[in-house]
């Protein structure tokens, strides 16, 4: 699909498949980063690191590692936006959707919304990083596909 404009503006199967793929990229990337950073911190890997609000804290080494994993996952998510979505205009939509679905998953896992400002600040930072870098990558790709005609003029 790269290099071509979409003829259908409203394509629900494409949108739903992109949302599912981006959510998979989000969780696989986050799990990968948490597993890698847990090797360095010596902590056990569990779903609590992904879904539990109390794991996100600055005071402990494991909390800082989880925060770093979320920030590194924003970079992984931006690569997902670049490969899956491929449209600069849709990067913000898919970024917000992935983080909103993660918030719903955390809400179901914990039974309540987060009250810590650090959780909201971390989400704001990761949304910003993922969206801006994804837009940058998509814009570079979109600009490469514009053919520029050159004519030779003999004087």
pLDDT > 90 in the chain, percent? 65
Statement: residue 1 has pLDDT above 50: no
What confidence tens digit (pLDDT) does each residue in 52-108 have?
998 888 888 888 999 999 999 999 999 999 999 999 999 999 999 999 999 999 999
What residues contact residue 100 under an 8 Å CB cut-off, 6+ apart?
A: none
7 pLDDT band (50/70/90 cuts)?
Answer: low
Kindly state whether residue 24 falls inside one of the protein's structural domains.
yes
Structural domains in the chain (count):
1
Kindly state whether residue 3 falls inside one of the protein's structural domains.
no
Kindly state whether residue 1 falls inside one of the protein's structural domains.
no
- Concatenate the DSSP letters of all residues of 63-77 into one string: HHHHHHHHHHHHHHH
pTM to 2 decimal places: 0.84
Query: What's the pLDDT at 9?
Result: 73
Kindly state whether residue 90 falls inside one of the protein's structural domains.
yes
Query: What's the pLDDT at 62?
Result: 87
Give the whole-angstrom CA distance, residue 1 versus residue 7.
11
Angle (nearest 5°) at CA 41 between 36 and 42: 95
Give the whole-angstrom CA distance, residue 13 versus residue 82.
19
Lowest mean pLDDT of 19-28, 42-51, 79-88, name the range.
42-51
Domain that holds residue 118: 12-144
Q: How many CA atoms lie within 13 A of 101 on its CB side?
A: 14
């Amino acid at each position: 699909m790269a290099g071509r404009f979409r003829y259908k503006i409203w394509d629900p199967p494409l949108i739903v498949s992109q949302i599912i793929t981006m959510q998979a990229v989000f969780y696989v990337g986050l799990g990968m980063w948490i597993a890698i950073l847990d090797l360095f911190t010596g902590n056990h890997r569990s779903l609590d690191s992904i879904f539990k609000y109390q794991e996100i804290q600055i005071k402990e080494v494991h909390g800082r590692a989880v925060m770093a994993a979320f920030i590194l996952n924003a970079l992984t998510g931006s690569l997902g936006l670049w490969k899956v979505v491929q449209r600069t205009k849709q990067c913000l939509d898919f970024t917000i959707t992935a983080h909103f679905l993660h918030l719903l998953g955390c809400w179901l896992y914990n039974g309540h919304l987060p009250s810590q400002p650090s959780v909201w600040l971390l989400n704001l930072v990761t949304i910003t990083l993922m969206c801006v870098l994804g837009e940058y990558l998509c814009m570079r790709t979109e600009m490469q596909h514009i053919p520029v005609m050159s004519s030779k003029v003999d004087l």
